[in-house]
Amino acid sequence: MSDFFQESLTEQESRLLQPFVTNLDRPVFGFRNLPEVVKGALFSRYSRSEKGLRRILLDEFIKAPEADFAGIVGSASGNQADQLVAIQKAEAFYDRVLIGYGDDSVAELGGAHLACEGVSNIAAKALEDSRLGISPLEKSTRYVPFNKKVNGRYLYYREPAIMVSSHAARYEASLDHLFDTYTALIDPLISWVQACTPKEESTSERAYASATRAKALDLLRGLLPMATLTNVGLFGNGRAFEYLLVKLAASPHPEVQELGLAMQQELDQMIPSFVKRAKTERGQAYVRYLADNGDRTAALTQKLTADLKTDASAMVQLVEYDPNAETKIVAAILYPQTNLGFDQLNAYAAELSAAAKLEIINTYIGDRAVRFHRPGRAFEETYYSFDLLADLGAYRDLHRHRVLSQERQRYTVQHGYAVPPELVAANLAAPYCQALDRAAETAELIGQDLPEAAQYVVPFAYRVRWRMKLNLREAYHFIELRSSRQGHSGYRAIAQAMYQQIQTVHPALVAKMHFVDLNDYALERLASEQRLDAKLQQMQPPLSS
Ligand SMILES: Cc1cc2nc3c(=O)[nH]c(=O)nc-3n(C[C@H](O)[C@H](O)[C@H](O)COP(=O)(O)OP(=O)(O)OC[C@H]3O[C@@H](n4cnc5c(N)ncnc54)[C@H](O)[C@@H]3O)c2cc1C
């Protein structure tokens, strides 16, 4: 490694530092055993100091009496009350360090893991609507059956406005009917799946049982309503959390607003400095701005478009693409290799023959050995806008792609649902449809009085409309990942259709999208489960699954 300014540390300083850094003498090191806020404060000093961070930690924190470092760190490893005191002390000090030169991005320097349990799918989607800075994970409808009861009641959100209205009994009866049907169909459907796809000798019992159960749960998830309670884990940085808290507070759903307050309370115990503006007047003004604008735009849209009728559009519709995409991408490919202006290169690329452009594009993509070999940023130069109309189950999955722009309409029963052909073949479609139809009647009825709350009734089988805008680079990632064998058939079909529509307009640009999978599979999870078997066998000592 190149020369760097090595801190000269006394023996005593080394001893003091050791518990908090991963090494004392190398240019690359990490921090440990420090509250998030202290790590954030330390990092923020990089922009204003010529010292290394080990020296800053020593001089400005550990050895500075006013920092009360022993108080901060000593109690940070103690009991709960001590930890809180430690964080408060750290926060007070952090604020002093930052006064005068802290900018918004400083709040990205500390993070927190937050678990949100027993939240509805309305709330889960609000949490996962975050893009930069938040990494979510959610309980899967594929691996976990959602038919558990607590105190004799299924786990779904009993929306307070509905529960105090005349619709309460009907709401519970319709949702219970959905969950009863879901529960009743699991075993017969697993048996049917197993009868259709018998276990091959080379497949283990474990892999076969997991794959067939996953298939059955995938097929039945359409019965789950948006009120279904789930668990979401979030890891995020302070700035992203602060923005998320503001957005949650501006939600029309009381559940989501309350969730935001509960999250603030917990984040205040972990990264208080980073999220405190969400609850100040500045934060509240932002909440009002978002909520008021939302209300006004909704009212104006309603006035302007009330007479327009929705037409039954295709599941996937490429609404907009750039006819000059190839030229722009070629210019963007050449750009970093030259000292020419982008305008100049665009003009140059426009004059190239189709064959010359293709050679440049193919050279740039190179030989992709696996789908992780994604083309570079030149492929971000062109965008595709899609209008999608697909079941909520598929929307929930695809919504998770943070890099692209997605926006949905309300959860509704107006666009109907499709019955998975497997349920028809298994002769189980009748109870499935009955439960969904009953839920739709209930949603329509409640919607006349409580349009926001009625969305909790909508089962995942119903279609939702959303738009998606993504660049070609993300299209490679998205389409190849979401068409892959182990995916759910609902979103695999969307990814495959997106590929076909891009291919129609820009064949050269997707010619190397080798890992798009256009096949259909009876047991999507089987290959993954077999790979898992192989991994389990390699483990020492072997893990039971
Ligand atoms: C078969 C399958 C099963 C799944 N099962 C579950 C499940 O059970 N539970 C669940 O919660 N989710 C599940 N997911 C969703 C998954 O965890 C991702 O949220 C989702 O696929 C979004 O994809 P992404 O992160 O690859 O891409 P995008 O969000 O589209 O981002 C594109 C790329 O940008 C980069 N990127 C974006 N954001 C970040 C970031 N914050 N940090 C670092 N890099 C970033 C990454 O390279 C990423 O691949 C599943 C997905 C698949 C395909």
Structure confidence by residue, pLDDT tens digits, 2-55: 566 667 899 999 999 999 999 999 989 999 988 888 888 888 888 778 889 999
Least confident of 63-67, 75-79, 445-449, 523-527: 75-79
Binning pLDDT at 50, 70 and 90, where does residue 70 land?
confident
> What's the confidence (pLDDT) of residue 452?
97
> What's the confidence (pLDDT) of residue 542?
47
> What's the confidence (pLDDT) of residue 83?
60
Please state which CATH class domain 113-307+418-457 belongs to: alpha beta
Sequence-distant (6+) residues with CB within 8 A of 158 are 171, 172, 227
Q: Where are the domains of the chain?
A: 11-102, 113-307+418-457, 316-410+463-529
- Same-fold call for 113-307+418-457 versus 316-410+463-529: yes
Least confident of 41-50, 447-456, 465-474: 41-50
Q: Which residue has the tokens 């490919």?
A: 333
**Nearest Cα residue to atom 20 of ligand 1:** 400
Q: What is the mean pLDDT of residues 295-312?
A: 90
pLDDT, tens only, 306-324: 999 887 778 999 999 999 9
> What's the confidence (pLDDT) of residue 543?
46
What does the block give as tokens for 139? 């309980």
Q: Which residue has the tokens 């001893």?
A: 15
**Nearest Cα residue to atom 35 of ligand 1:** 403
CA of 402 to the centre of ligand 1 (A): 8
Least confident of 302-316, 374-388, 452-466: 302-316
pLDDT, tens only, 33-47: 888 888 888 888 887
Whether the pLDDT of residue 482 is over 80: the answer is: yes
Q: What's the CA gap between 113 and 233, in Å, rounded?
A: 7
Binning pLDDT at 50, 70 and 90, where does residue 98 land?
low
CA of 403 to the centre of ligand 1 (A): 10
CA angle 250, 256, 261 (to 5 degrees): 80
Among 402, 494, 523, say which to mutate for ligand 1: greatest number of ligand atoms within 8 Å of CB.
402
Region at 54 (left for phi over 0; alpha for psi -120 to 50; beta for the rest): alpha
Whether the pLDDT of residue 217 is over 50: the answer is: yes
374 lines ligand 1 (CB under 6 A): no
Q: What is the mean pLDDT of residues 57-67?
A: 81
Please state which CATH class domain 316-410+463-529 belongs to: alpha beta
486 lines ligand 1 (CB under 6 A): yes
Which atom, in ligand 1's list, is nearest to the CA of 143?
8
131 lines ligand 1 (CB under 6 A): no
Which atom, in ligand 1's list, is nearest to the CA of 137?
11
> What's the confidence (pLDDT) of residue 545?
37
**532-543 b/e (C-beta count within 10 Å ≥ 16 → b):** bbeeeeeeeeee
319 lines ligand 1 (CB under 6 A): no
> What's the confidence (pLDDT) of residue 523?
65
**Nearest Cα residue to atom 12 of ligand 1:** 137
137 lines ligand 1 (CB under 6 A): yes
Binning pLDDT at 50, 70 and 90, where does residue 505 land?
very high
140 lines ligand 1 (CB under 6 A): yes
Q: In 109-211, at which residue ranges do the beta strands (DSSP E only) sit?
A: 111-120, 134-138, 149-150, 153-154
> What's the confidence (pLDDT) of residue 79?
58
> What's the confidence (pLDDT) of residue 236?
97
Percent of the chain exceeding pLDDT 70 equals: 90
**Nearest Cα residue to atom 30 of ligand 1:** 401
Q: What is the mean pLDDT of residues 252-277?
A: 94
Binning pLDDT at 50, 70 and 90, where does residue 89 land?
low
111 lines ligand 1 (CB under 6 A): no
> What's the confidence (pLDDT) of residue 50?
86
> What's the confidence (pLDDT) of residue 544?
41
CA of 131 to the centre of ligand 1 (A): 11
